[in-house]
Amino acid sequence: MNFPVQELLKLAAKGGFVLGFVAVSAMFLIWLERKVSAWIQNRKGPMMTGPQGAFQSVADTVKLLLKENIVPSGADFFIWWLAPFFVAIPAVMAFVCMPFGPHHIVYDLNVGILYICSITSVSVLGIFMAGWGSNNKYSLLGGMRSAAQIISYEVPLLLSVLVVVMEAGTVSMQGIVHAQEPGWFILKPNVMVAFLIYLISATAEVNRVPFDIPEAESELVAGYHTEYSGMKFAMFFVAEYTNFFIISATTATLFFGGWLGPWAPSPVWFLLKAYGIVFFLMWVRWTLPRLRMDQMMTFAWKVLTPLALVNVLVTGWFLVRKG
Amino acid sequence: MLPDYIHITFFWLLGVIFVGAAFAVSWFIRPKAPSAVKCAPYECGEIVQGDSRVQFNIRFYLFALIFVIFDVEILFTIPWAVDFQQMGMTAYLEMVVFMLILAVGLAYAWKKGALEWQ
């Protein structure tokens, strides 16, 4: 058998690029979040390191590298130590079929969106392991709430993805983008409903305000990562912001035509759309108050899930009548 | 062509390297000076009371059960969603029946109070 050296090298190069992108994107998003929040609250945000505090995240990374690692007494060490892996690895793995452009994709898996949804939901295991392993009441509460919230919002999320799959007739990410060549899916009224459900559930999936009960700083300290310091904490943070980018990029791909766009090269369009959604979600975070636990769970099961089910059936009806 | 799952395995490996390398680098350069007080679980400065792994609300378990049912259902629906336009009205009506059964299940859970959070 001929060993495919060239293809393996290509894969390694793509992998290196993705790792670089994950690191830089997370640092950029953390800086952006601080700047956007400052701007919304009429402050300045980080200003000291570099122009407009642009190197603040680099400084933070160096600081976190030098921080002492504190193992909480009574922690279940192995589970506690393994949790950052379970949270960060799925965030890297989701990039396998993220379509940056017609040829700028690591590999267009034929299960595309299904793969992204399933691999990103593995991180709930890591979150729960962190909560359980820390031997800290806040961590356990945060981990439990987080697990309940993530699995509850998974249902409307997948049902709204289903509507896009029905419209596109494929689950491959590139296939979904190509299906939008006549017009973005967001322009169809049924997909617009799916988009709203998707955006709300995705915000809940990554534990952002208004769904940040698992990490509610004022009641739970920091939720499941209370007992983590140094690089382990940094891994949770990187994973959180990478997942944030992943949901925004997936939203751009499913509803806003992904890399499709005139004049500029396609990766530019893709990043522009993804970061546009990132900015919108940041705006939401710094505008809305936090929901209560019962409101959140009720909303997922009694409003979003029935609405998404009806939406799937209505979409099916129109597509079958048309086709 | 490389097989599909080589890519996924390779990216899993990259993730392990990414996290592992970060841990290794910080292990070499960080200070190590643990003490009993420093390592006590954080409870806002209070002395820790009892074990933190307490009994938990049964609600979490109920939600997990309902979630499993719906998640499996959606897995069944995805192959249908890809192909139902070619299969026409029959396939659509079958899915309506399938979803109605699920909706009845959800309505039952709702009526029984499994979706209430106290």
pLDDT in tens, A43-55: 888 888 878 888 8
| Partners of residue A69 in chain B, C-beta under 8 Å | 26-27, 30, 32
Residue A31 makes CB contacts below 8 A (sequence gap 6+) with: A46, A53, A54, A56, A57
B107 and B62 within one domain: yes
pLDDT > 70 fraction of chain A, expressed in percent and rounded: 95
Query: Would the pLDDT of A287 be above 60?
Result: yes
Q: What is the value of pTM for the model shown?
A: 0.90
Cβ contact, residue pair A294, B6, below 8 Å: no
With respect to residue B45, please indicate whether it lies within any of the assigned structural domains: no
pLDDT in tens, B28-58: 888 887 777 777 777 766 777 767 777 777 7
| Partners of residue B39 in chain A, C-beta under 8 Å | 70-73
How far does the CA of residue A287 sit from the closest CA of chain B (Å)? 26
Instruction: Give per-10-residue mean pLDDT for chain B (118 aa).
Output: 80 90 87 77 71 75 84 87 84 88 87 76
Cβ contact, residue pair B18, A92, below 8 Å: yes
Mean pLDDT on A278-294 = 85
- B58 — contact with chain A (CB < 8 Å)? no
B108 and B68 within one domain: yes
Summary mean pLDDT of chain A: 85
Residue A140 confidence (pLDDT)? 83
Domain ranges of chain A: 71-322
Query: Would the pLDDT of A2 be above 70?
Result: no
CA A180 from centroid of its chain's CA atoms = 22
Cβ contact, residue pair A166, B11, below 8 Å: no
Cβ contact, residue pair B30, A154, below 8 Å: no
Residue A5 confidence (pLDDT)? 82
B67 and B107 within one domain: yes
B105 and B64 within one domain: yes
Nearest C-alpha in A relative to B5: A109
Distances (CA, A) of A60 to A56, A57, A302, B28, B92: 6, 5, 42, 18, 54
With respect to residue B89, please indicate whether it lies within any of the assigned structural domains: yes
With respect to residue B27, please indicate whether it lies within any of the assigned structural domains: yes
Domain limits for position B7: 2-39
Residue A195 confidence (pLDDT)? 92
With respect to residue B118, please indicate whether it lies within any of the assigned structural domains: no
Query: Would the pLDDT of A1 be above 60?
Result: no
More confident residue, A315 or A75: A315
| Partners of residue A169 in chain B, C-beta under 8 Å | 82-83, 85
Q: How many folded domains does chain B comprise?
A: 2
pLDDT in tens, A166-206: 888 888 888 888 888 888 888 888 889 999 999 999 888 88
Per-window interface: A 41-80 vs B, CB < 8 A:
64-74
pLDDT in tens, A122-132: 888 888 888 88
Closest Cβ–Cβ partner in B16, B51, B106 for A305:
B106
Residue A297 confidence (pLDDT)? 84
